[in-house]
Amino acid sequence: MRVLVTGATGFVGSHLVEALLARGDEVVGLIRNPAKAARVFTNQQPELVPGDLDDAAALRRAAEGADAVFHVAALTSARDRAEFFAVNVTGTRNVLDASREAAPGLHRVVFVSSIAAVGPSARGVPVDEHVVPRPVSDYGASKLAGEDAVHGSGLPWTVVRPPAVYGPRDVQLRRVFSFARWRVAPVFGDGRQELSLIHVDDLVSALLAALDRGRPDGTYFAAHPQVVTTREFVTTVGRAVDEVLHGRARDPRLVLRIPFGVARVALTLNGAAMHALGRSTVLSADKIRELLAEGWTCSAAALERDTGWRAEIAAGEGLRRTAAWYRDAGWL
Protein backbone atom coordinates (compact mmCIF):
# COMPACT_ATOMS: atom_id res chain seq x y z
CA MET A 1 0.00 0.00 0.00
CA ARG A 2 1.27 3.46 -0.88
CA VAL A 3 0.55 5.83 2.01
CA LEU A 4 0.97 9.58 2.34
CA VAL A 5 1.60 10.99 5.81
CA THR A 6 1.46 14.75 6.31
CA GLY A 7 3.40 16.08 9.27
CA ALA A 8 5.73 13.12 8.86
CA THR A 9 8.50 14.46 11.10
CA GLY A 10 6.18 15.60 13.88
CA PHE A 11 5.52 13.80 17.15
CA VAL A 12 2.63 11.58 16.04
CA GLY A 13 3.54 11.57 12.34
CA SER A 14 7.05 10.24 12.84
CA HIS A 15 5.84 7.31 14.95
CA LEU A 16 3.14 6.57 12.37
CA VAL A 17 5.69 6.58 9.54
CA GLU A 18 7.89 4.11 11.41
CA ALA A 19 4.95 1.77 12.03
CA LEU A 20 3.86 1.88 8.39
CA LEU A 21 7.38 1.15 7.19
CA ALA A 22 7.70 -1.71 9.69
CA ARG A 23 4.63 -3.41 8.27
CA GLY A 24 5.92 -3.06 4.70
CA ASP A 25 3.94 -0.13 3.34
CA GLU A 26 5.43 2.30 0.83
CA VAL A 27 5.41 5.59 2.70
CA VAL A 28 5.60 9.15 1.40
CA GLY A 29 6.21 11.84 3.99
CA LEU A 30 5.34 15.49 3.39
CA ILE A 31 7.98 17.43 5.32
CA ARG A 32 8.99 21.05 5.84
CA ASN A 33 12.54 20.41 7.07
CA PRO A 34 14.73 17.76 5.35
CA ALA A 35 17.43 18.17 8.01
CA LYS A 36 14.92 17.27 10.73
CA ALA A 37 13.84 14.25 8.70
CA ALA A 38 17.43 13.01 8.61
CA ARG A 39 17.61 13.29 12.42
CA VAL A 40 14.26 11.60 13.04
CA PHE A 41 14.49 8.72 10.56
CA THR A 42 17.88 7.27 11.37
CA ASN A 43 17.15 3.73 10.19
CA GLN A 44 14.64 3.38 7.38
CA GLN A 45 13.49 6.55 5.64
CA PRO A 46 10.22 7.12 3.82
CA GLU A 47 10.12 8.83 0.45
CA LEU A 48 10.37 12.50 1.37
CA VAL A 49 8.55 15.34 -0.41
CA PRO A 50 9.55 18.81 0.84
CA GLY A 51 6.60 21.16 1.05
CA ASP A 52 3.90 22.69 3.18
CA LEU A 53 0.13 22.55 3.32
CA ASP A 54 -0.13 25.63 1.11
CA ASP A 55 2.14 24.16 -1.59
CA ALA A 56 -0.29 22.68 -4.13
CA ALA A 57 2.42 21.22 -6.37
CA ALA A 58 4.17 19.47 -3.49
CA LEU A 59 0.87 18.12 -2.19
CA ARG A 60 -0.05 16.68 -5.59
CA ARG A 61 3.40 15.12 -5.92
CA ALA A 62 3.17 13.59 -2.46
CA ALA A 63 -0.37 12.27 -3.00
CA GLU A 64 0.25 10.84 -6.47
CA GLY A 65 -0.95 7.24 -6.62
CA ALA A 66 -1.66 7.05 -2.88
CA ASP A 67 -3.88 4.28 -1.58
CA ALA A 68 -4.30 5.99 1.76
CA VAL A 69 -3.65 9.42 3.26
CA PHE A 70 -3.06 10.15 6.93
CA HIS A 71 -3.50 13.87 7.49
CA VAL A 72 -1.60 14.44 10.72
CA ALA A 73 -0.06 17.89 10.17
CA ALA A 74 -1.69 20.65 12.23
CA LEU A 75 -1.00 23.67 14.36
CA THR A 76 -1.47 23.17 18.10
CA SER A 77 -0.33 26.70 18.90
CA ALA A 78 -0.79 29.84 16.83
CA ARG A 79 -0.53 33.61 17.04
CA ASP A 80 -4.28 34.03 16.57
CA ARG A 81 -7.49 32.32 15.44
CA ALA A 82 -6.85 33.17 11.79
CA GLU A 83 -3.54 31.29 11.83
CA PHE A 84 -5.20 28.20 13.32
CA PHE A 85 -7.82 28.22 10.57
CA ALA A 86 -5.28 28.90 7.80
CA VAL A 87 -3.42 25.69 8.61
CA ASN A 88 -5.97 23.40 10.24
CA VAL A 89 -8.84 24.17 7.86
CA THR A 90 -7.48 25.64 4.62
CA GLY A 91 -4.45 23.35 4.79
CA THR A 92 -6.75 20.36 5.25
CA ARG A 93 -8.79 21.39 2.21
CA ASN A 94 -5.56 21.62 0.21
CA VAL A 95 -4.60 18.07 1.18
CA LEU A 96 -8.05 16.83 0.22
CA ASP A 97 -7.96 18.64 -3.13
CA ALA A 98 -4.55 17.20 -3.97
CA SER A 99 -5.67 13.71 -2.94
CA ARG A 100 -8.76 13.95 -5.11
CA GLU A 101 -6.69 15.00 -8.13
CA ALA A 102 -3.61 12.81 -7.74
CA ALA A 103 -4.99 9.65 -6.12
CA PRO A 104 -8.12 8.53 -7.99
CA GLY A 105 -7.96 5.05 -6.43
CA LEU A 106 -7.76 6.34 -2.88
CA HIS A 107 -9.06 3.87 -0.29
CA ARG A 108 -9.27 6.20 2.71
CA VAL A 109 -8.29 9.55 4.19
CA VAL A 110 -7.67 9.25 7.93
CA PHE A 111 -7.89 12.66 9.57
CA VAL A 112 -6.25 13.07 12.96
CA SER A 113 -8.51 15.46 14.86
CA SER A 114 -8.69 16.07 18.62
CA ILE A 115 -11.01 15.85 21.60
CA ALA A 116 -10.72 19.66 21.54
CA ALA A 117 -12.98 19.62 18.46
CA VAL A 118 -15.82 18.38 20.67
CA GLY A 119 -15.13 20.27 23.87
CA PRO A 120 -14.83 19.24 27.50
CA SER A 121 -16.63 16.47 29.36
CA ALA A 122 -18.64 16.60 32.56
CA ARG A 123 -17.04 14.95 35.56
CA GLY A 124 -17.57 11.20 35.34
CA VAL A 125 -19.21 11.38 31.89
CA PRO A 126 -16.78 10.77 28.98
CA VAL A 127 -17.79 12.23 25.61
CA ASP A 128 -18.44 9.92 22.67
CA GLU A 129 -19.29 10.24 18.99
CA HIS A 130 -22.92 11.15 19.74
CA VAL A 131 -22.07 14.34 21.65
CA VAL A 132 -22.80 17.58 19.81
CA PRO A 133 -19.43 19.35 19.42
CA ARG A 134 -18.96 22.55 21.40
CA PRO A 135 -15.26 23.49 21.22
CA VAL A 136 -14.10 26.07 23.75
CA SER A 137 -10.83 27.13 22.10
CA ASP A 138 -9.74 28.49 18.74
CA TYR A 139 -7.66 25.35 18.25
CA GLY A 140 -10.69 23.15 18.92
CA ALA A 141 -12.88 25.18 16.58
CA SER A 142 -10.29 24.88 13.82
CA LYS A 143 -10.08 21.10 14.22
CA LEU A 144 -13.86 20.81 14.06
CA ALA A 145 -13.89 22.91 10.89
CA GLY A 146 -11.17 20.62 9.52
CA GLU A 147 -13.46 17.65 10.21
CA ASP A 148 -16.24 19.43 8.30
CA ALA A 149 -13.90 19.87 5.34
CA VAL A 150 -13.18 16.13 5.38
CA HIS A 151 -16.89 15.30 5.55
CA GLY A 152 -17.59 17.42 2.48
CA SER A 153 -14.62 16.27 0.42
CA GLY A 154 -16.35 13.51 -1.51
CA LEU A 155 -13.51 11.17 -0.52
CA PRO A 156 -13.81 8.08 1.71
CA TRP A 157 -12.74 9.16 5.18
CA THR A 158 -12.33 8.26 8.83
CA VAL A 159 -11.81 10.78 11.64
CA VAL A 160 -9.91 9.86 14.81
CA ARG A 161 -10.08 12.16 17.84
CA PRO A 162 -7.41 11.51 20.48
CA PRO A 163 -7.25 13.19 23.89
CA ALA A 164 -3.86 14.25 25.32
CA VAL A 165 -1.11 12.27 23.55
CA TYR A 166 2.22 11.60 25.22
CA GLY A 167 5.35 9.57 24.57
CA PRO A 168 8.87 9.79 23.09
CA ARG A 169 9.57 12.96 21.05
CA ASP A 170 6.68 14.88 22.59
CA VAL A 171 7.66 18.46 23.40
CA GLN A 172 4.34 19.71 24.81
CA LEU A 173 4.39 17.71 28.07
CA ARG A 174 8.16 17.88 28.41
CA ARG A 175 7.77 20.84 30.79
CA VAL A 176 5.97 18.64 33.33
CA PHE A 177 8.82 16.11 33.21
CA SER A 178 11.37 18.90 33.64
CA PHE A 179 9.65 20.12 36.83
CA ALA A 180 9.59 16.55 38.05
CA ARG A 181 13.40 16.44 38.08
CA TRP A 182 13.17 18.70 41.13
CA ARG A 183 10.28 16.63 42.55
CA VAL A 184 7.87 19.50 41.92
CA ALA A 185 4.48 18.77 40.32
CA PRO A 186 2.63 21.88 39.08
CA VAL A 187 -1.14 21.60 38.73
CA PHE A 188 -3.81 24.14 37.85
CA GLY A 189 -6.60 24.69 40.35
CA ASP A 190 -7.50 21.89 42.73
CA GLY A 191 -6.13 19.11 40.51
CA ARG A 192 -9.54 17.42 40.15
CA GLN A 193 -9.93 17.90 36.39
CA GLU A 194 -10.36 14.45 34.79
CA LEU A 195 -8.25 13.39 31.81
CA SER A 196 -8.18 10.65 29.23
CA LEU A 197 -4.72 9.94 27.86
CA ILE A 198 -3.18 7.91 25.07
CA HIS A 199 0.42 6.85 24.54
CA VAL A 200 1.64 7.62 21.03
CA ASP A 201 2.20 3.91 20.28
CA ASP A 202 -1.43 3.18 21.13
CA LEU A 203 -2.58 6.11 18.98
CA VAL A 204 -0.58 4.81 16.03
CA SER A 205 -2.15 1.37 16.37
CA ALA A 206 -5.57 3.06 16.55
CA LEU A 207 -4.88 4.98 13.34
CA LEU A 208 -3.84 1.79 11.56
CA ALA A 209 -6.95 0.01 12.85
CA ALA A 210 -9.10 2.89 11.63
CA LEU A 211 -7.54 2.59 8.17
CA ASP A 212 -7.74 -1.18 7.93
CA ARG A 213 -10.98 -1.97 9.75
CA GLY A 214 -12.73 1.29 10.56
CA ARG A 215 -16.23 2.06 9.36
CA PRO A 216 -16.22 4.16 6.16
CA ASP A 217 -17.12 7.77 6.94
CA GLY A 218 -16.84 7.02 10.64
CA THR A 219 -15.67 9.18 13.55
CA TYR A 220 -13.91 7.64 16.54
CA PHE A 221 -12.26 8.58 19.80
CA ALA A 222 -9.02 6.75 20.64
CA ALA A 223 -8.02 6.67 24.31
CA HIS A 224 -6.93 4.39 27.10
CA PRO A 225 -9.91 3.53 29.35
CA GLN A 226 -8.04 4.72 32.44
CA VAL A 227 -9.11 8.17 33.68
CA VAL A 228 -6.76 10.23 35.84
CA THR A 229 -7.09 13.58 37.53
CA THR A 230 -4.56 16.27 36.75
CA ARG A 231 -3.14 15.82 40.24
CA GLU A 232 -2.76 12.07 39.67
CA PHE A 233 -1.16 12.74 36.32
CA VAL A 234 1.57 15.09 37.59
CA THR A 235 2.19 12.80 40.57
CA THR A 236 2.61 9.80 38.26
CA VAL A 237 5.01 11.80 36.07
CA GLY A 238 7.00 12.65 39.18
CA ARG A 239 7.23 9.01 40.23
CA ALA A 240 8.24 7.95 36.71
CA VAL A 241 11.02 10.54 36.51
CA ASP A 242 12.32 9.66 39.97
CA GLU A 243 12.38 5.97 39.02
CA VAL A 244 14.32 6.40 35.76
CA LEU A 245 16.76 8.95 37.19
CA HIS A 246 17.29 7.57 40.68
CA GLY A 247 15.95 4.03 40.66
CA ARG A 248 13.11 4.71 43.10
CA ALA A 249 9.58 5.91 42.47
CA ARG A 250 8.86 8.60 45.08
CA ASP A 251 5.98 11.02 45.08
CA PRO A 252 6.89 14.67 44.39
CA ARG A 253 8.00 16.72 47.37
CA LEU A 254 5.66 19.51 46.34
CA VAL A 255 2.41 19.53 44.38
CA LEU A 256 2.40 23.18 43.33
CA ARG A 257 -1.22 24.34 42.99
CA ILE A 258 -1.60 27.29 40.65
CA PRO A 259 -4.90 29.09 41.33
CA PHE A 260 -7.09 29.65 38.30
CA GLY A 261 -6.98 33.42 38.82
CA VAL A 262 -3.18 33.39 38.69
CA ALA A 263 -3.24 31.09 35.66
CA ARG A 264 -5.70 33.38 33.86
CA VAL A 265 -3.47 36.42 34.32
CA ALA A 266 -0.27 34.56 33.46
CA LEU A 267 -1.66 32.97 30.29
CA THR A 268 -3.18 36.24 29.12
CA LEU A 269 0.07 38.13 29.62
CA ASN A 270 2.19 35.39 28.06
CA GLY A 271 -0.09 35.14 25.05
CA ALA A 272 -0.06 38.91 24.55
CA ALA A 273 3.73 39.03 24.82
CA MET A 274 4.21 36.21 22.31
CA HIS A 275 1.73 37.84 19.92
CA ALA A 276 3.64 41.13 20.13
CA LEU A 277 6.83 39.24 19.28
CA GLY A 278 5.12 37.50 16.36
CA ARG A 279 5.49 34.09 17.99
CA SER A 280 2.98 31.36 18.78
CA THR A 281 2.53 29.68 22.14
CA VAL A 282 0.32 27.02 23.68
CA LEU A 283 0.30 29.05 26.91
CA SER A 284 -2.18 31.78 25.98
CA ALA A 285 -5.63 33.05 26.93
CA ASP A 286 -7.09 30.60 24.41
CA LYS A 287 -6.36 27.79 26.90
CA ILE A 288 -8.16 29.30 29.89
CA ARG A 289 -11.57 27.71 29.22
CA GLU A 290 -9.88 24.36 28.64
CA LEU A 291 -8.17 24.60 32.03
CA LEU A 292 -11.45 25.50 33.76
CA ALA A 293 -13.31 22.46 32.40
CA GLU A 294 -14.34 19.60 34.69
CA GLY A 295 -12.82 17.03 32.38
CA TRP A 296 -11.35 16.02 29.07
CA THR A 297 -12.37 12.39 28.94
CA CYS A 298 -13.68 10.30 26.06
CA SER A 299 -14.84 6.78 25.27
CA ALA A 300 -13.13 4.62 22.66
CA ALA A 301 -15.93 2.04 22.73
CA ALA A 302 -16.95 2.61 19.10
CA LEU A 303 -13.41 2.09 17.79
CA GLU A 304 -13.03 -1.01 19.95
CA ARG A 305 -16.36 -2.39 18.71
CA ASP A 306 -15.72 -1.76 15.00
CA THR A 307 -12.05 -2.70 14.78
CA GLY A 308 -11.11 -4.81 17.80
CA TRP A 309 -8.51 -2.21 18.77
CA ARG A 310 -7.82 -1.49 22.42
CA ALA A 311 -5.23 0.72 24.08
CA GLU A 312 -2.63 -1.34 25.93
CA ILE A 313 -0.37 1.15 27.68
CA ALA A 314 -1.64 2.50 31.01
CA ALA A 315 -0.42 5.84 32.31
CA GLY A 316 2.08 4.50 34.84
CA GLU A 317 3.95 2.36 32.34
CA GLY A 318 3.64 4.83 29.49
CA LEU A 319 4.95 7.76 31.49
CA ARG A 320 7.86 5.65 32.77
CA ARG A 321 8.77 4.74 29.17
CA THR A 322 8.51 8.40 28.20
CA ALA A 323 10.73 9.51 31.06
CA ALA A 324 13.31 6.87 30.10
CA TRP A 325 13.31 8.15 26.51
CA TYR A 326 13.73 11.76 27.66
CA ARG A 327 16.65 10.69 29.84
CA ASP A 328 18.35 8.77 27.02
CA ALA A 329 17.78 11.66 24.58
CA GLY A 330 19.31 14.17 27.03
CA TRP A 331 15.99 15.93 27.60
CA LEU A 332 16.05 15.26 31.34
pTM equals 0.93
Match domain 2-162+198-222+298-312 to its CATH number in 3.10.620.30, 3.30.450.30, 3.40.50.720, 3.30.70.360.
3.40.50.720
What is the average per-residue pLDDT within 12-23?
Answer: 97
Q: Are 68 and 27 in contact (CB under 8 A)?
A: no
Buried b (16+ CB within 10 A) or exposed e, 292-331: eeebbbbbbebbbebbebebebbbeebbbbbbbbbeeeeb
pLDDT of residue 284: 63
pLDDT of residue 13: 98
Buried b (16+ CB within 10 A) or exposed e, 143-159: bbbbbebbeebebebbb
% the chain with pLDDT above 70: 93
Q: What is the pLDDT of residues 271-322, one digit of tens each?
A: 566 556 666 556 666 777 788 889 999 999 999 999 999 999 999 999 999 9
pLDDT at residue 259 above 80? no
Q: What is the pLDDT of residues 297-311, one digit of tens each?
A: 999 999 999 999 999
pLDDT of residue 257: 81
Paired strand residues for 30: 6, 49
- Residues known to be catalytic: 139
Closest by alpha carbon to 1, among 96, 95, 66? Answer: 66
The CA-atom distances, in angstroms, between 192 and each of 118, 135, 197, 316 are: 20, 21, 15, 18
Separation CA 23–CA 212 (nearest Å): 13
